[in-house]
Chain A
Amino acid sequence: MKDLIIKITGTSGQGIISSGDILCYATARKGYYVTTYRAFPSEIRGDGKCYYTLRISEHQALTATGNTDILVCLDEDTIYEEIGKINKGGILIYDSDMVSELKETRNDIVAYPVPLKTIAKNVATERSRNMSALGVVVEILKNLHLEEQILKDIELRYKLKTQEVIDSNKNALNAGIKYAQNEMIRKDDYDKVNIKSTGAKLIMSGNEAIGLAAIAAGCRFFSGYPITPATEIMEWLAKELPKFGGKMLQCEDEIAAINYALGASYGGVKSMTATSGPGFSLMQEAIGLASMAEIPVVIADVQRCGPSTGVPTKTEQSDLFAAMYGTHGDCPKIVLAPMNVSDCFYQTINAFNFAEQYQVPVIILSDASLGPRRECVDMIDFDNLKIVNRLKPNLKEGDIYNRYEDTETGISPITSPGDMYGEHVVTGLEHTEENAPTPAPDVHKKMTEKRFKKLETAAGQFSKAKTYGDENASIGIISWGSTSGAVFEAIDTAKENGISVQALYPRTLYPLPTDWIKNFVRNKEVIIVIEANYNAQFKSTIVERCTHINRGTEVLEFLKYDGTPFTPEEIYEEIQKVYNVQQSKNEVITNKHTHF
């Protein structure tokens, strides 16, 4: 078995996330690759359902959204929701103290009714039954030797709480393990699971990876306003930035947040903010200011379902238009989309480097399926990270410094308050190279071109697109951001089934990597653009901007907008459909030729 998907489900407040996190850390610390997916309601307690999926593997997995091997249900409702998504031969563990008889079951899976409530109550309290359930899982996966590490992780997680909390969690876990050893008649073959440990890795969430990269890139100022699912970035930086003498300031609203960051960046300090849809809408005017006044700033948008308040805890890739075109006016900026947790780190490094080099706002489009998800990241080589700082002029007394000097690249050297002879006024008004405001037509034309020239002369220098799969394939998939993981896995499945597909994954969405797209599309009969929004936002951008792909290549869309991320299975199904249509079309053409 090359990998394994475990899913823990239940109602908000039952400790789904805690038990999932503990299992996640322990697995990573034992040297296995792990990637996760969490879904939870906005209410802290209540009837909302929580889902924590972990995929344990020998190699870095790209998604945890596939079908389940071991399903652990702490409530009844999620059993029937999830039972259909268990792999053949898989396991269902449920609390027989709460569910006396399953209303629905399957013959091709193994169901273990476990009296979790009783087990936990006997050694601790009922509340610890999440840990007893975890104990059962640990015993089933005995081959992974997780027990010792999980006990350590329980201590780490609850070290700030009382010894009593630590003990009841440990006791409940052990009781679960004992129950599985002594009372359960094993009918599954998961004791044969054999996943090799490949040594220590880093384990972090997408949001933490963005925070970590910010510090590594030299960011020393963050201003934000709490919003799901982006808050974790500011919480993490609030803890870490002051250790470096940096600041995390909580503002009165998102408008203040981004303007604080612009003020700080004007002061010469690398700055960022992070938000989600509603806050991102509020920031648009200031993003235009950063573009016009040429102030470096990084904005992470951890997308959630919109418009308006939408579904705060569920994922969507529907802020692409807002990121590319949300600001009024012709507004040069850069939009990057990370694909997984590791990429959140490297794309955030890129974001700061591009912001500093090109003096533009850089937007990172993460999402609710990526931000909170914890995942292994290979050790980062901090000593060899390329870090870019803004271009400073060499000024001496008597020099005339023009902040917006139109250079060959469009990039003007930049001074900050405190620098002698570099005094200047930055402004959101159109201005001359000498930073004087003016409505003159020739100036607005020239300076608009100057600002765009920065990006145009740098075309191709931004985060490079990547391809995956067979380059001779006639079916192509274009996806962006977190969707790409599921796409790559679906391509692997297709290959196993004799269908050849190649994927393109642009890591820079704006400026649109038209050359990459052009190259990719060249030999494709059909392209499927896969993204999590209703409007086919990236597809329509490609179709509109890359006119060359309209000739000869059919461009299809495969969209999802129910708040859940794509699974490799549903993408593979779509590939099959498109493949079958292509086959029959080709047959028709072949037949025609034969008859002719």
Chain B
Amino acid sequence: MKQMQENDYKGRVKPSWCPGCGNHAVIMALRKAMTSLNYQTHETAIVSGIGCSSRFPFFMATYGFHSIHGRALPVAIGLKQARPDINVIALGGDGDGLSIGGNHFIHAGRKNPNITYIMLDNEIYALTKGQCSPTSRIGTITKCNPYAWTADRLNPVLMALSFNASYVARGYSGDVKQLEQLIKGGLEHKGFAFIHIISPCVQYNKVSSFEKIKEIVRNLPDGHDVQDRVNAMKYAFSSDGVYTGVFYKVQRPAYEQRYEDVISKAKEIAGNNITIKDVIKQFQ
């Protein structure tokens, strides 16, 4: 097996994000995490939806699937179920994953496929030049809501916890070192790993800039019990700052593992060497 270097993961296309965009830190952290796990490019697939962050697969040398808006998760889960041998990473923005693709997020948590889902949250629709997203703050002013944004925010970490994702973490683009650890933890986790990354947009979001986020983020306290889901929810709820780190981590059988039982049961009935000619007996 080839010993991978960070540069081996660089794709044919150079990142097209704005200078200063939070996503640069995320791609750096992902490459580092993959290097430390020696992920082979041909055994890894990155699946995204639509949005600035969803351009990610083009900038990587792995297999990639840049799908349609909101559908990174179903494509990634389908791929993982068909090919459990492949490392599958789903990835996209807050609009992609919480708005148009929100339904899939719910069911990914419940099903627990062994994939890592990285949500790059800039609290705005940036690719369409700045409209409010499900994580925009109330009162935000954009061209689409020139007087005020009138809907409350979603809390992605709290959502993931309630959907029963088996690994839930939050990071921030200002801390690549922590990001690398969180992503590595997610990749190693056998089950649905959700990593929420606050990744500021330098172009369209002046409300949640690097400086402002830096003031409010803080590490989860040492000794936080990652198996305690209720306590994890309390930290996710917290109004005294935005916590980063691993909120929750438990082991339960992954979706594809559970389906192995289905296959065993079916084979118990049918035998191991069934052919199509055995199947048609029921039609005779």
Q: Which chain A residues have a beta carbon within 8 Å of chain B's beta carbons?
A: 29, 200, 202-204, 208, 212, 215-216, 220-221, 223, 239-240, 242-245, 247, 249, 251-253, 255-257, 259-269, 271, 285-286, 289, 293, 377, 380, 382, 416-429, 434-437
Contact = CB atoms under 8 A, between A and B. Distances in A.
A266 B107 CA distance: 21
B143 interface: no
A260 B65 contact: no
A256 B65 contact: no
18 contacts: A216-B276, A223-B78, A239-B266, A242-B265, A252-B106, A255-B103, A257-B74, A263-B78, A263-B82, A264-B83, A271-B82, A417-B42, A417-B63, A417-B86, A418-B42, A425-B11, A428-B67, A437-B66
Contacts of B263: 242, 245, 247
A438 to B, nearest CB: 10
Given A256-B103, A267-B79, A289-B68, 4 more contacts: A220-B82, A245-B263, A259-B71, A268-B82
A260 B78 contact: yes
Contacts of A223: 78
Interface string B263-284: 1011101100010110110011
Nearest to A262: B75
Given A203-B283, A263-B74, A285 B68 contact: yes
Contact of A208 (B11, B262, B283): B283
B62 interface: yes
A160 B91 CA distance: 46
Nearest to B274: A243
Given A418-B42, A418-B86, A260 B277 contact: no
B61 interface: yes
Nearest to A268: B83
Contacts of A286: 68, 71
Interface centre among B77, B262, B276, B280 (most CB of A within 10 A): B276
A281 to B, nearest CB: 15
Interface in B1-53: 11-13, 41-45, 47
Contacts of A423: 41-42, 61-64
B82 A221 contact: yes
Size bin of chain B's contact surface: 35 or more
A223 B262 CA distance: 15
A424 B66 contact: no
A436 B13 CA distance: 7
B280 A425 contact: no
A417 B75 contact: no
B57 interface: yes
A216 B44 CA distance: 30
Contact of B280 (A221, A260, A380, A418): A380
A170 B99 CA distance: 57
A429 B66 contact: yes
Contacts of B178: none
B189 interface: no
B77 A202 contact: no
Contacts of A382: 276-277
Interface centre among B263, B265, B279 (most CB of A within 10 A): B279
B75 A263 contact: yes
B284 A260 contact: no
A247 B11 CA distance: 32
Nearest to A427: B66
B235 interface: no
A156 to B, nearest CB: 10
B83 A426 contact: no
A32 to B, nearest CB: 14
Contact of A267 (B42, B82, B265): B82
Contacts of B142: none
A240 B279 contact: yes
B104 interface: yes
A518 B280 CA distance: 40
Contact of B65 (A215, A380, A425, A436): A425
A588 B263 CA distance: 72
A292 B141 CA distance: 36
B248 interface: no
A265 B61 CA distance: 20
A186 to B, nearest CB: 34
Nearest to B255: A249
Nearest to A422: B42
A264 B82 contact: yes
B250 to A, nearest CB: 23
Contacts of A417: 42-45, 63, 79, 83, 86
B259 interface: yes
Contacts of B182: none
A326 to B, nearest CB: 15
A425 B68 contact: no
A251 B65 contact: no
Contacts of A271: 78, 82
Nearest to B77: A260
A413 to B, nearest CB: 15
B165 to A, nearest CB: 15
B12 A434 contact: yes
B243 to A, nearest CB: 29
Contacts of A247: 81-82, 259, 263
A429 to B, nearest CB: 7
A416 B85 CA distance: 12
B58 interface: yes
A215 B276 contact: yes
Contacts of A422: 42, 63
Closest 6 CB pairs of A and B: A263-B78, A260-B78, A264-B82, A425-B64, A242-B266, A259-B74
A380 B280 CA distance: 9
Contacts of B75: 259-260, 262-263, 266
